Structure 1
Amino acid sequence: MIPHRPILSSLTLGLLGIAQVSATALTAMLGANERSCYYADVDGVGEKVGFYFAVQSGGNFEIDYVVMDPEDKVILEGVGEKQGDYIFTANQVGEYSFCFENEAYTSDKLLDFDIMVESEPRRVLSAQQQPLKEHTSSLEESTYKISGLLSSITRTQKYFHTRHHRNYSTVLSTQSRIFWFTILECVIIVAMSLIQIWILKTFFSRSGR
């Protein structure tokens, strides 16, 4: 019979073996003709770095971006992108930069973005804990499945969040256009009425003479 203490310690090691994740979720307003950069530290070679962004409102929802390593070497870049979701492996230790550029556009942009640094430490089992490897492996597999499902739910929520903001921005833009079109229509109707009155007045004045 296996004592309870090794089981507990093995389960603890299994939980500690789960990927440690540090993430930053931000919402930022980027003005017209502006550039904004954010930074994330990577402590070890081989760590996974996740980068997600989506333009919520402003213009045609386009933005330029560039991701660089500690030596300012370009890893990812894009022009006129509406959103992106990338994962890459860090080959160097240091500070990675994530920059958004709105210099080519004249409208302010509302951005949602996540920067995630994930490390996966390995479990080291002693000889006494080797028989419990199958149990911890099953636990880890179940945990990774749950983590994958949660990631899928998070991505779906981000998608609907982005769609909501873009649709709301489109509605506001349409309302503004309708309002100014109505004002212009009223001005044209008033101008046409005044012109007709002036024409009739001029016609009858000439007829009287």
Structure 2
Amino acid sequence: MLFTFVSVLLALCQLISGSALTFQLGAQATECFYIFTTKPNTPVSYYFAVQSGGAFDVDYTIKSPRGEILVKEEKERLGDFVFQADIVGEYEFCFSNGMSTFAEKVVDFEIKFEDTNTNNFKANMPDQPNTKPIAHVENMKRTVDKIDTQLDGLLRTLQYYKTRNNRNQATVKSTESRIYYFSIFEVLLMVGMAFLQITIVQLFFKGSRKQLV
């Protein structure tokens, strides 16, 4: 029983390959990442979210091993999509911050692709001699599938809330900075107006004394 459960988990790990990272995208910069598929017709899912910087948007493109542009989007804040990798080879994911002159961006990025040429878990399950498929093993497979789906949904939800939290913090910091500089400007404006009023009063009295003389 335990051996079967471990085998199912190992099969799950073999079926799914993925990578996740957080990187900093400088102003007027472009960063590219690559994945290599070994089998045709592989669904590739990718997720990205701009955590901070500027208007929280980037441009991105996805190219096939032949150099063809599969996806091209501009000024996107968040993406969670799937496309079909029809041919075997290296696929290119590029993020561009060309629209920003000074603002740097922090981006979360994840790529995941599944091997669909395997016959679900049955192709990777170890054969046990003199045994027949039993109901509880099939139920265990369905349970693992369900857990994997729920964990993936939970991860996406956590990433979404992380993005919202980072953006809200960036908004708060930006608002605090604006209030601070506006307060300084207001104080300087008040001092300048007071100095101008004093100067006008002094000129008024000087003019009055000249007339008296």
TM-score tier (shorter):
0.7 to 0.9
The residue aligned with 1:117 is: 113
**1:105-143 residue CA offsets vs partner (Å, 9 max, x unmatched):** 222111011011222433248695673154332211100
Distance, in Å, in 1 between the alignment partners of 2:179 and 2:2 is 66
Once superposed, what is the RMSD of the aligned Cα atoms?
2.1
Q: Give 3-state SS (helix, strand or coil) of 1:71's partner.
A: coil
Aligned length: 203
Give the structure-1-normalised TM-score.
0.88
Q: Using a 3 Å threshold, how does the CA distance of structure 1 residues 93 and 204 change in structure 2: closer, same or farther?
A: same
Q: Using a 3 Å threshold, how does the CA distance of structure 1 residues 11 and 203 change in structure 2: closer, same or farther?
A: closer
Q: Give 3-state SS (helix, strand or coil) of 2:157's partner.
A: helix
Q: Give 3-state SS (helix, strand or coil) of 1:132's partner.
A: coil
The residue aligned with 2:174 is: 173
The residue aligned with 1:92 is: 87
Q: Give 3-state SS (helix, strand or coil) of 2:41's partner.
A: coil
The residue aligned with 1:3 is: none
Letter in 1 for 2:153: S
Q: Using a 3 Å threshold, how does the CA distance of structure 1 residues 13 and 28 change in structure 2: closer, same or farther?
A: closer
The residue aligned with 2:159 is: 158
Distance, in Å, in 2 between the alignment partners of 1:23 and 1:113 is 11
Q: Using a 3 Å threshold, how does the CA distance of structure 1 residues 13 and 46 change in structure 2: closer, same or farther?
A: farther
**Alignment partner for residue 56 of structure 2, among 56, 61, 75?**
61
Q: Give 3-state SS (helix, strand or coil) of 2:132's partner.
A: helix
1:1-209 aligned at under 5 Å gives the runs 11=5, 14-18=8-12, 20-106=15-101, 107-120=103-116, 121-122=118-119, 123-124=122-123, 131-132=132-133, 134-209=135-210
Identity %: 36
Given that residues 34 and 101 in structure 1 are in contact (C-alpha distance below 8 angstroms), is that contact kept between their aligned partners in structure 2?
yes
Q: Using a 3 Å threshold, how does the CA distance of structure 1 residues 60 and 8 change in structure 2: closer, same or farther?
A: closer
Q: Give 3-state SS (helix, strand or coil) of 1:23's partner.
A: strand
Distance, in Å, in 2 between the alignment partners of 1:38 and 1:170 is 29
Letter in 1 for 2:96: E
